[in-house]
Structure 1
Amino acid sequence: MRISSIDIGSNAIRQVIIEIDMNGTWTVLKKHREPIRLGHDVFLYRKITPPTEQRLVLAFKRMARLMKKFKVDKSIALATSAFRDAQNKRPLLTKIKQTSGIKIEVISGTEEARLIRQAVKHNTCLNDKHCLLIDIGGGSVELTHVHSNRIYFSRSFRWGMVRTLAEAAVQNKTPQVICKENLKKASRFLPKRQFELAVGTGGNLDAIGKLKLTLLKKGPNTLVSASELKIIYKRFMKMSPQDRLTKLDLKPDRLDVIEPALFLTLQLLKKYKIKRIKIPCVGLKEGAIYSLLNSHS
């Protein structure tokens, strides 16, 4: 069986097409990314503007062609924070369905956190530890406390990195100040205990793993200690914008959001006295596949 899963985020749109054999083994056939920053429009203007709408329609036509090329049997497309907030989402969802055949489901932050948890559950051994799952997206941040396959806390916060950059520009503050203010405002809603381990998901955390390889010249990119993260952040902040562009193995639309993402991750590890963070390189689109399979089992 072949499945296409599309994650329509606030910073970019990501598609993965996989094949599952009789034993349940996954083979990735195609990964595709559309660098469309929906959050830039929505977090500033509360809607998706006509130029971005045109790019979206063309992007989904391309993804539909990929689905046809790889003879996909089942598909799922999930939209998160930017689409949740867009005032003009309904006619746009209809237009995309009519022009590409792809039906998009706009999910809540709670459902987003649940699906991310599904991806982590199937790909990461937590060794019965009290674990904090951290997903840092463009529009929202999901925090989940997990222990022994039980969820004790899960909440979605409007702290995404594209949103943070927009708020910083409007308020004439640094993104780091916005991150600190968000944590302080939400302190009464956050878990009060310490954690033995963190697991980071999403494009920003995957990028932090890449920065370990590039800036520290060592692996693995799937495990970063708190002390390593401090060094990564310091070295990143010392680099000029041009050096970041030419010397780091990051996409251009990741270079601005990774700065507050590094800072927020550091703040969370410090707050909860977490010594290391696992980065399994999975997220919403993989969790959506597990959910789709469970619904048809």
Structure 2
Amino acid sequence: MISIDLGSNTIRACKMQKIGNNFEPIYSFERIVGSARGLSLKGLADDAMDRIKQAICELRAEVEFDSSIAVATEAFRQAANSAEFFRQIRAEFGIEFNIISGEVEAYLTRLGVENRAKILNLNLKDSLLIDLGGASTEISFGEVSRSFSFGIITALQSDKRAEISMAMEFIKQFKFNNIILTSGVPTTVAALKQGLNYANYRADLINGVQIKNTDLNWVANLLKTTPNKDELVGKNRADLIVKGCEILSNLVGFSPCIVIDDGLREGLFIAKKLNLKEIK
């Protein structure tokens, strides 16, 4: 089985195996597809749908799998043409995508993060988890979670200051010991801090890395000034990473944060294997 997370900016997939009480990835896949780029009242843009199909073709060519569990998030919750698009995907690739709520997304993401934290011997008691996506942001503390309608793509396309302020107010109610960050922006910041770039990125070298507000500001300034930004963070990602650094800087303030690469795709796999959440 393979689990697939089709997000508003990336598509990620993985296979995992159980080792002791935890799950470890044995295969990982990721492509930048920009699902939310050009999202309008008509729905997903044609070029976004083409990029998604191309990525699924690459996934199919790269790894064999006899079954899959696949979910889609905020861009597809919003898009008027999601149902028709996923009918095409099912017909062409035999993959059935389910559009999940922000609350289910937060639950599965936390499951994936907690699995990695156990492997790293990190204590996540009283930890705040922030998953900054392309079109939505999920924030959870224990059993309390909320999905906010802003992400790095949508914040570039329109003014999301009001929504970001709502998220900041939501965070203020919790007394947390640490902040855990997952998703592409914090993992990119941690990678650059470790001397890695887009081409030689390794999740095992950034899992558990601590970043601070100063690191977010450093990366944002670096990508605004360096001529080799595509080499550092991937083609057409620099503007998204800069915006993400600005958003996270507002959300976390001066609290140090721990970065974990694992998230929704891993949590989805674990939930399916352990029958923890009913997802078709």
What is the match of residue 80 of structure 1?
73
Corresponding residue to 1:5 among 3, 6, 11: 3
**Closer, same or farther: CA 27–235 of 1 in aligned 2, 3 Å:** closer
Higher mean C-alpha deviation, range 278-287 or range 203-212: 203-212
| Contact 2:77–2:99 (CA under 8 A) maintained in structure 1 | yes
**How far apart, in 1, do the equivalents of 2:56 and 2:81 lie?**
18
- How far residue 93 of structure 1 moved from its aligned partner, in angstroms, is 0.8
Change (3 A) 1:284 1:236: same
**Contact between 1:64 and 1:101, CA under 8 Å: does it hold in 2?**
no
Task: Normalising by structure 1, report the TM-score.
Answer: 0.78
Q: Equivalents in 1 of 2:145, 2:134: separation in Å?
A: 18
Query: In the alignment, which residue of structure 2 is the partner of 1:266?
Result: 249
Q: Which of the numbers 15, 31, 40 marks the counterpart of 1:17?
A: 15
Specify whether residues 128 and 190 from structure 1 end up closer, same or farther in structure 2 by C-alpha distance, changes over 3 A only.
Answer: closer
User: 1:10, 1:80 within 8 Å by CA — same for their partners in 2?
Assistant: yes
Distance 1:240 1:117, change over 3 A: same
State yes or no: 1:57 paired with 2:43: no
Root mean square deviation, CA, Å? 2.8
Letter in 1 for 2:148: F
Residues 174-213 of structure 1 correspond to what in structure 2 (within 5 A)? 178-179=160-161, 181-186=162-167, 189-213=170-194
TM-score, structure 2 length as denominator? 0.83
Relative to structure 1, is the Cα distance of residues 90 and 224 closer, same or farther in structure 2, using a 3 angstrom cutoff?
same
The answer to whether the 8 Å contact 1:60/1:102 transfers is no
Which consecutive residues of structure 1, in runs of 5 or more, have no partner in the other structure? 169-177
Q: 1:255 aligns with which of 216, 223, 238?
A: 238
The reply to whether residue 90 of structure 1 matches residue 83 of structure 2 is: yes
Please tell me whether the aligned partners of residues 57 and 99 of structure 1 are also in contact (alpha carbons under 8 angstroms). no
Q: How far did 1:123 drift?
A: 1.5
State the shift of 1:23 in Å: 5.0
Structure with the greater alpha carbon radius of gyration: 1
Q: Is the 8 A contact 1:12 1:35 kept in 2?
A: yes
Residue deviations 1:52-105 (CA, integer Å, cap 9, x gap): 33343343333334443xxx3442111001111110111111111011000101
Aligned length: 265
SS in 2 for 1:40: coil
Tell me the residue number matched to 2:38. Answer: 41
Give, in whole Å, the separation in 2 of the partners of 1:126 and 1:56: 35
Task: Pick which of 28-37 and 87-96 moved more.
Answer: 28-37
Structure-2 separation of matches of 1:255 and 1:37: 13
Partner residue, 2:156: 165
1:112 matched to 2:119: no
* 1:213-228 correspondence runs (5 A): 213-214=194-195, 221=206, 222-226=208-212
Q: Are the structure 2 counterparts of residues 63 and 220 from structure 1 closer, same or farther at C-alpha, using a change threshold of 3 Å?
A: closer
Q: Report the secondary structure of 2:176's partner residue.
A: coil
Amino acid of the structure 1 residue aligned with 2:262: V
Q: Residue deviations 1:228-252, cap 9 Å, x none?
A: x314513531542524234x2x222
1:280, distance to aligned residue in structure 2 (A): 2.0
2:210 maps to amino acid: V
User: Unaligned stretches of 5+ in structure 2?
Assistant: 197-203
The percentage of aligned residue pairs carrying the same residue is 25
